[in-house]
Amino acid sequence: MGSKGKAGLDFSGKVVLITGAASGIGAATAEMFSKLGACLTLVDREEEGLLCLMKKCIKTGREPYGIAGDLLKPVEIECIARKTTERFGGKLDVLVNGAGVMPTGTLQSTELACFTHVMEANVRSAFYLTKLLLPHLLQCKGNIINVSSVGGLRAFPNQVAYNMSKAAVDQFTRSLALDLAPQGVRVNAVNPGVIRTNLHKAGGMDEQSYADFLESSKQTHALGRIGEPTEVASVICFLASELASFVTGVTLPVDGGKQLMCPR
């Protein structure tokens, strides 16, 4: 990669906020942005995991700013927005909406409370945090990366609420991209396939079920394996960088070809 390419991935002096940062894709993304010189605000409700991640980032870059907050509570979203803009003087170059949940269930088995929870965690939180931070992104002509899912592009069984929420995230991405393009703000999404994170276990899978799922998932991805968090993180950093300066409104599968496969 030439000097222009290296410069394109230099986030020195750039302020990056990542939600869902304490584990999985969020943590890998935080570590990668840290290595690339970014000033980080890391948000998660899991304080212990957040502190652990902050220590890792300190070893590779400057000390990040951590905020323990629950994105299900609008008042805490408001607090997160206020704290990060105060910390960095109103500057914000990149917003990564990475927080989310993934319960399983069909229409028959999904209670209304569960559906509401999924939509609030995966859609409303990103909508409201982005709305609050938008003036600062506009000022910096920054960009937004939403972490969606291959489930936003294709329907998968026993995930009705999750599929719906991620389809909403994709449409949110496209709508924002059109609205903000004239003002110089880019908006894109990544759509991961099965990635080695704690998301499925947090959604209710036990250890054996998760191990069986990972094994069977090798057959549902064209590349014959599941993905790693760093493989999604690298695409997020690319989309946030100057290397993607002419890319907006994209919902980019990072899924080993899963969205191309026929159901089995």
Is 59:231 a contact under the CB 8 Å cutoff? no
To 10 degrees, the CA torsion angle through 214, 221, 234, 23?
-20
Question: From residue 149, how far is each of 101, 152, 191 by CA, in Å?
Answer: 11, 5, 4
Distance CA 261, CA 247 (A): 26
Distance CA 243, CA 264 (A): 37
Pair of tokens at residue 188: 């894109």
Active site residues: 162
Radius of gyration of the chain measured on its C-alpha atoms: 18
Distance CA 18, CA 94 (A): 8
Pair of tokens at residue 24: 């999985």
Distance CA 32, CA 262 (A): 33
